[in-house]
Chains A and B, each alone.
Chain A
Amino acid sequence: MAYSEKVIDHYSNPKNVGTLDKGSKNVGTGLVGAPECGDVMRLQIQVDDATGVITDAKFKTFGCGSAIASSSLATEWLKGKTVDQAMAIDNMDLVEELNLPPVKIHCSVLAEDAIKAAINDYRVKNGLEELVFEEKGVH
């Protein structure tokens, strides 16, 4: 299967690989997927308390090229957005931007799940209630 140029680019030069301090109150961490399924994503956001803007985002991903590209692109999109804006990121936007084929849509779903998990982690840490998201059910 041939990968799109954009997937290859993110795979070869991934953006924002790394780790934020998960103990910090203004860092939200989302860890999704499972080793048995062949993909695990950890996505972290750092939020400015005053403005609600995501000032930094990092990821680490175990998975195929499309999973790596989806998480790399997600971190790029997250930076500079408010938490509310970040919640609106849809997996299909990632699919479109990266030209993912149907068999790789689950990678984008996982990235969306990771964003939401990171946001919820941040919310819980800051005394806000956990949001319930709709299941995508593509896996």
Chain B
Amino acid sequence: MLKFPIYLDNNATTPMDPRVLEAMIPYFTEHFGNAASRNHPFGWEAEEAVDYAREQVAALIGADPKEIIFTSGATEGDNLGIKGVYEMYASKGNHIITATTEHKAVLDTCKHIEKLGGEVTYLEVKEDGLINLAELEAAIRPTTILVAIMYANNEIGVVQPIKEIATITKKHGVLFFTDGVQAVGKIPVDVIKDGIDIMAFTAHKMYGPKGIGALYVRRKNPRVKVTAQMDGGGHERGMRSGTLNVPGIVGFGKACELARLEMADDAARLSKLRDKLETALLQIEESYVNGNREHRLPHVANISFKHVEGEGLLMGFNKNIALSSGSACTSASLEPSYVLKALGLGDDLAHSSLRFGLGRFTTEEQIDYTIEQITNTVNKLREMSPLWEMYKEGIDLNSIEWAHH
């Protein structure tokens, strides 16, 4: 029996795995100590739990536990990683390179740095969503201190050429920061093999709790330091003050352990389901996949259905299926997704897109239902769409003078 609503928005957040919750519960009530309390068993217990979780988190990404700085989540990690490098390495330079398809937590941090007097280059992406490595290398200046390119994109799921980027940054003696939010726990991420210097990631995108994340900060070859963005008790090797969120950290650790053990099976199963979904939806006339299909997360698909508006499409089934769209009909600006636009998609196709994020608890039955619902709704809305009618009559929509409002 299908249970509604079906959740296919796992790029936004994931449900917590019950095994994670189970691990966390004792740390709310019984073992409630402050991990910084050095003089009694409550503190010792908490510290021990944090140390263990730190090992679990580090193991998932091939890091040393000492390289894990706990944060409140990836937005904080992005801020701390980028602003922290900008301040710490001010004597070396003030130039940062990023890309236009980054998450707002990176883009807005970079804009903030520009206000402080820093210089930022925003690389355009190719139409498949990947950056151009030659452009990246050409953008490096003597004053460049950091390259900030995400591991995998949250809207289209494309996976950037991380190893190749790291080779370039290493060659030029520039640090490499990556927002690993969508990739960590979903595909193998190894900070040593990948050559990553700093990486932000978070628990709630990998079946852990909200409000806890981590920043990986490399300690060897090179030894990296970031300037703290919050002043206080000097926790987390002085880079992030604040009493540790022990239950959250314990949950994060458990989530990382489960991801390390189950990632390969999850990915294999989900890529099959994703491919089934995608193949079926591409049977619909005038439907297109956005982003590179080869270098992509196994559980993500972003598809545009021409001449149907995304929000209107969602309304056809959003009581039963939770999805998101690149359409921004609800936003005051009426601007569609900047990520899709960066791929060179027209605004009309960006408005017509749906983002599918499958997850650990997605079933084949749910995918079958989703295929049926979306196909029916697209067909129904096209019957109602003046654009579809014109397209069918062979009218070139670009030849019409639209009244832009």
Binding site for B on A (CB under 8 A): 1, 3, 8, 11, 14, 17, 19, 31-42, 60-65, 67-68, 103, 106, 110, 113, 139
Binding site for A on B (CB under 8 A): 307-312, 315-316, 327-332, 334, 336, 346-348, 351, 383-389, 397, 400, 402-405
Q: Is the CB of A36 within 8 A of B315?
A: no
A7 nearest CB across to chain B (Å): 9
A104, B348: Cα distance in complex, Å: 19
Q: Is the CB of B329 within 8 A of A38?
A: yes
In the bound complex, residues from chain A placing their C-beta under 8 Å from that of B384 are 14, 17, 60-61, 68
B288 nearest CB across to chain A (Å): 15
In the bound complex, residues from chain B placing their C-beta under 8 Å from that of A61 are 384-386
Query: Chain A's interface: helix, strand, loop or mixed, by majority?
Result: mixed
Contact residue among B311, B329, B347 (Cβ-Cβ distance under 8 Å from A36): B347
Provide 9 A-B residue pairs closer than 8 Å at the C-beta atoms, listed in order of the A residue.
A31-B400, A35-B387, A38-B329, A39-B329, A60-B385, A62-B307, A64-B329, A64-B330, A103-B332
Q: Is the CB of B346 within 8 A of A63?
A: no
A40, B403: Cα distance in complex, Å: 9
A107 nearest CB across to chain B (Å): 9
In the bound complex, residues from chain A placing their C-beta under 8 Å from that of B327 are 38, 64
Chain A, residue nearest B389 (CB): A60
Q: Is the CB of B389 within 8 A of A34?
A: no
Query: Chain B's interface: helix, strand, loop or mixed, by majority?
Result: loop
Q: Is the CB of B386 within 8 A of A42?
A: yes
Q: Is the CB of B402 within 8 A of A36?
A: yes
A127 nearest CB across to chain B (Å): 24
A35, B350: Cα distance in complex, Å: 10
Task: Give the 6 A-B CB pairs with smallest separation, nearest first.
Answer: A34-B402, A139-B405, A36-B347, A35-B348, A42-B386, A60-B386
Chain A, residue nearest B329 (CB): A64
- Name the residue among A19, A36, A41, A61 with the largest chain B CB count within 10 angstroms: A36
In the bound complex, residues from chain A placing their C-beta under 8 Å from that of B309 are 38-39, 62-64, 67
Q: Is the CB of A36 within 8 A of B404?
A: yes
A44, B284: Cα distance in complex, Å: 29
A68, B331: Cα distance in complex, Å: 18
B390 nearest CB across to chain A (Å): 9
Chain A, residue nearest B346 (CB): A36
Contact residue among B329, B332, B402 (Cβ-Cβ distance under 8 Å from A40): B402
In the bound complex, residues from chain B placing their C-beta under 8 Å from that of A110 are 405
A110, B386: Cα distance in complex, Å: 14
B337 nearest CB across to chain A (Å): 11
A35, B316: Cα distance in complex, Å: 20
In the bound complex, residues from chain B placing their C-beta under 8 Å from that of A38 are 309-311, 327-329, 334, 336, 347, 351
A63, B311: Cα distance in complex, Å: 7
In the bound complex, residues from chain B placing their C-beta under 8 Å from that of A63 are 309, 312, 329
Q: Apart from A37-B405, A65-B315, A67-B309, what are 7 other A-B pairs with CB-CB below 8 Å?
A: A11-B315, A11-B316, A33-B405, A37-B404, A38-B310, A63-B309, A106-B405
A73 nearest CB across to chain B (Å): 14
The answer to whether A62 and B308 touch (CB under 8 A), given A35-B347, A38-B327, is yes
A31, B331: Cα distance in complex, Å: 23
The answer to whether A40 and B312 touch (CB under 8 A), given A34-B403, A35-B351, is no
In the bound complex, residues from chain A placing their C-beta under 8 Å from that of B389 are 19, 60
A61, B334: Cα distance in complex, Å: 17
A60, B389: Cα distance in complex, Å: 9
The answer to whether A103 and B402 touch (CB under 8 A), given A35-B387, A65-B312, is no
A35, B404: Cα distance in complex, Å: 9
A1, B400: Cα distance in complex, Å: 33
The answer to whether A40 and B315 touch (CB under 8 A), given A32-B403, A34-B403, A34-B405, is no
Q: Is the CB of B387 within 8 A of A40?
A: yes
Q: Is the CB of A35 within 8 A of B397?
A: yes
In the bound complex, residues from chain B placing their C-beta under 8 Å from that of A8 are 315
A72, B366: Cα distance in complex, Å: 32
A40, B307: Cα distance in complex, Å: 10
A135 nearest CB across to chain B (Å): 10
A64, B397: Cα distance in complex, Å: 19
A74 nearest CB across to chain B (Å): 14
Chain A, residue nearest B328 (CB): A38
Chain B, residue nearest A103 (CB): B330
In the bound complex, residues from chain A placing their C-beta under 8 Å from that of B315 are 3, 8, 11, 64-65
A139, B405: Cα distance in complex, Å: 6
A120 nearest CB across to chain B (Å): 13
B310 nearest CB across to chain A (Å): 8
Q: Is the CB of B402 within 8 A of A1?
A: no
A40 nearest CB across to chain B (Å): 6
